[in-house]
Chain A
Amino acid sequence: MFGKLDWSAIPFDQPIPLITSLLIVVVMLGVLILITLKGWWPYLWGEWITSVDHKRIGVMYCLLGIVMLIRGFADAIMMRTQQAVAINGPGYLPPDHYDQIFTAHGTIMILFGAMPLVIGIMNFLVPLQLGVRDVAFPTFNSVGFWLTASGALLVNVSLFIGEFARTGWLPYPPLSEATYTPGVGVDYYLWAVQISGVGTLITGINIVTTILKMRCPGMSYLRMPIFCWTALASCLLIVAVFPILTATLAMLTLDRYLGWHYFTNTLGGNPMMFVNLIWAWGHPEVYILVLPAFGIFSEIFPTFSGKPLFGYRSMVAATLFICIISMMVWLHHFFTMGAGAAVNTFFGISSSIIAVGTGVKVYNWIFTMYGGRVRFDTPMLWSMGFIFTFCIGGLTGVLLAIPPADFLTHNSMFLVAHFHNVIVGGVVFGVFAGIEFWFPKAFGFRLHPRWGKAAFWLAFVGFWVTFTPLYILGLEGMTRRLQHINIVAWTPWLYVSVAGVGILILGVIAQVIQLVVSIRDRDKLRDVTGDPWDGRSLEWATPSPPPFFNFAVMPNVEGEEAYWGIKLRAVETQQLSPQPDYQPIEMPVNSPVGIYTAFFAFVFGFAMIWHIWWLAILAFVAAYAGFVVFAWRDVHEFHVPAEEVARVDQARREARTALLARMAEQGALP
């Protein structure tokens, strides 16, 4: 009846996961009870859960990403402390549990932390920057988000029911084959990543179509904000490589469930093919993450330097260059696997070449600041911290790209330090910069600047104190994923690293305090103009937060930096453009299909993990039925009457007029 599921799946004998998961269950129940008691369900259901508004979905993505980031950070704390106490001893985490922790840490941080954050920011921003009202497929957007969320839920369910994979975040066969890992851990990994991968693919298709087919009048390719270019490149990569992940994991699933021989080490299976295929996805994946972060920095540097971006066209070229070359370097993740000199040389050179594109970008950012009037607000601090951190990470990456050197550093702590250096320094710093920058646009008030700066400095210093020792340990020969350590000489560095984690914890606390303080002081931090940072692209032309239809009348773009041009004209003539003729607007209606599909995807995944076949079939049929019902609906859109559009836009125009008047009073106008 219940397949492999029985009471032994609950970890009664392991206090750490048991207590953690009980705590999570209690907190979640508490939140649900609170929502019920306060009567918030209709609001949540109508305004968020079934919403197809790209801004709402973007915010929900970011929320999911932040929660998962904290979950992954908890794993990181356990790993660092375990290594520091397990010197010539067992430490406090048995190998069985420790292996699950490093697997969960990698999976969660990349696929359920960084990806939702990056996708969330793209979702929120791309239509606003392009001057349109929504993404190409709003309902699918909601489906994509909820699928990602149910994947994340599956990973977290594994904490309480069963176990997670113990194979590392990329489950290499033959270890991950049913022969050597018979439990449900790898199955949890497979189905969680598969389900969220489908969600990611939907988003990729959606944003590519939005950027290529839905731009406001006059927004030609070379007038698009650079963030849109990086989002386009990133989503093209999603479309190109996420199917590889799907295919590879499907093959491993067939091996595990049906005894096929794709990656087995017997009967003609080829485990190395898995390594080859998974990295053909895995390498572009890091560029999927970092390209939008590059885009965020490229928006922040011009804004806070008061200058246009230096070398806009070279930036576009470098972005597309990275997009293509990133699909030609994947072998550098397995130089040591035994390919010959010709193959290793080719991929070594291509890996070094890809640094050129990033180098172009770094110089462009520096030259953007040069001669500008730089303001050191929190987003700018994160951006400047990024340049420094990312450059060091890039340089160590070039070391790893040289095959002979890689034979020494492969699988060592040096590698661990390197990829944290680029992913934390690039993606996480970028996401935090973006959140600080666009938070007022999303919620109508700014984040508290003092606490933001404190959080930045703690994170920056904490990062370096944590990871510099890992570089040294790697060069001294420490390999990654060690559950205990037998070399006493490494002890001091491990202790320093734990101290760094302590600083990072303070950084996280500062970040949380910043949010709480900002919500408390929101009236003081209110952004009434819609343009709190003196911005340059179209999202700042809307009020904060933007109305659900974004633009009362679609903007007409006449040059690069669309909003900047509009603003200069308004400042110079000291008046707004003439009041337009408002038309009714068509907007897509909300739809529960996203949460419906995701619910059955979750049930399907859970049933497959535990071999509950009848439930899997049931879930599949229910999902198909839901699809048909959704396709059958007659009403797709509703009309916003012209009077309502006019009313909303009047408020915006009044705020802008007041701003102009205030500037005139202060004698700031030319």
Chain B
Amino acid sequence: MSHSDTDPNLHSEDRDHREDHAPGDEPEESAGHWILNANLGLGLSILLTVTAFVLAATHLVYAPSIPVALLVLAIAQMGVHLVFFLHVTTGPDNTNNVLALAFGILVVFLLVVGSIWIMAHLSHNMMPMPPDQMQSMQQ
């Protein structure tokens, strides 16, 4: 029965910048700022991508460590994209966006790691099968 005197919905358009921030949106800055930002993102991405391709194609690093190195580079590049292209920050206006992202990453992690773990266990516990029998099952 008690209502505020103003209806915030009518005035919300001018409130968004200090209150909250849409993901991927660009806060008020000059176009030059964002071009610089995109250049930086592109530069870092090229660096990380080239490193990944070089590592995979050559023997510059100890071979068994290559997959780990590739994964680290990929995660780093995803971070670069999030920061420079999607403008995700740690500011208070981004709390909801980051929380949602963290939730998504948790789900992906649980699903992928859980599946790999479970399925590896299953095949580990399978009865050993001689190759010829395996071959006959594949026909």
Which residues of A does B touch, CB under 8 Å? 133, 212-213, 216-217, 236, 240-241, 244, 265-268, 270, 272-273, 276-277, 280, 324, 327-328, 330-331, 337-340, 342-343, 541, 551-556, 566-567, 569-570, 576-577, 580-581, 583, 585-586, 653, 656
Contacts and interface: CB of A to CB of B under 8 A. Distances in A.
B2 interface: yes
Contact of A586 (B2, B4, B9, B121): B9
Given A554-B4, A556-B4, A566-B2, 5 more contacts: A240-B103, A339-B118, A343-B117, A343-B121, A576-B2
Interface in B107-124: 107, 110-111, 114-115, 117-119, 121-122, 124
B4 A280 contact: no
A134 B5 CA distance: 20
Contacts of B139: 266
B7 interface: yes
A553 B121 contact: no
Nearest to A240: B107
Interface of B: 1-5, 7-10, 20, 96, 103-104, 106-107, 110-111, 114-115, 117-119, 121-122, 124-126, 137-139
B137 to A, nearest CB: 6
20 contacts: A213-B20, A217-B4, A240-B107, A244-B111, A266-B138, A267-B138, A270-B119, A280-B115, A324-B106, A328-B110, A328-B114, A330-B114, A331-B118, A552-B3, A554-B4, A554-B8, A555-B2, A569-B2, A570-B1, A585-B9
Contacts of B121: 339-340, 342-343
A240 B111 CA distance: 10
B10 A583 contact: yes
Contacts of B104: 240
A146 B9 CA distance: 28
B2 A276 contact: no
A336 B80 CA distance: 44
B137 A265 contact: yes
Contacts of A553: 3-5, 7
Contacts of A343: 117-118, 121
Top 10 A-B pairs, shortest CB-CB distance:
A577-B2, A556-B4, A553-B3, A339-B121, A240-B107, A576-B1, A343-B121, A340-B121, A580-B3, A338-B125
Contacts of A570: 1-2
Contact of A277 (B1, B20, B96, B115): B115
A263 B115 CA distance: 14
B2 A280 contact: no
Contacts of B107: 240-241, 327
A583 B2 CA distance: 16
Contact of A276 (B110, B119, B126, B137): B119
A541 B117 CA distance: 52
Nearest to A660: B1
Contacts of A337: 122
B110 to A, nearest CB: 5
A97 B1 CA distance: 58
A566 B1 contact: yes
B119 A555 contact: no
A280 B108 CA distance: 11
A274 B104 CA distance: 22
A563 B48 CA distance: 55
A519 B127 CA distance: 65
B115 A555 contact: no
Contacts of B114: 280, 328, 330-331
B8 A217 contact: yes
Contacts of A577: 1-3
A259 to B, nearest CB: 14
Contacts of B10: 583, 586
A268 B139 CA distance: 11
A133 B9 contact: yes
Contacts of A555: 2-4
Contact of B7 (A236, A268, A324, A554): A554
Contacts of B137: 265-266
A567 B1 contact: yes
A236 B103 contact: yes
Contacts of A331: 114, 118
Contacts of A576: 1-2
A567 B107 CA distance: 42
Q: Looking at A244, A340, A653, A656, which has the most chain B CB atoms within 10 Å of its CB?
A: A340
B14 to A, nearest CB: 15
Contacts of A567: 1
A556 B122 contact: no
A266 B136 CA distance: 9
Contacts of B106: 324
B42 to A, nearest CB: 30
A554 B125 CA distance: 61
Given A273-B119, A276-B118, A566-B2, A340 B125 contact: yes
Given A266-B137, A338-B126, A339-B125, A656 B1 contact: yes
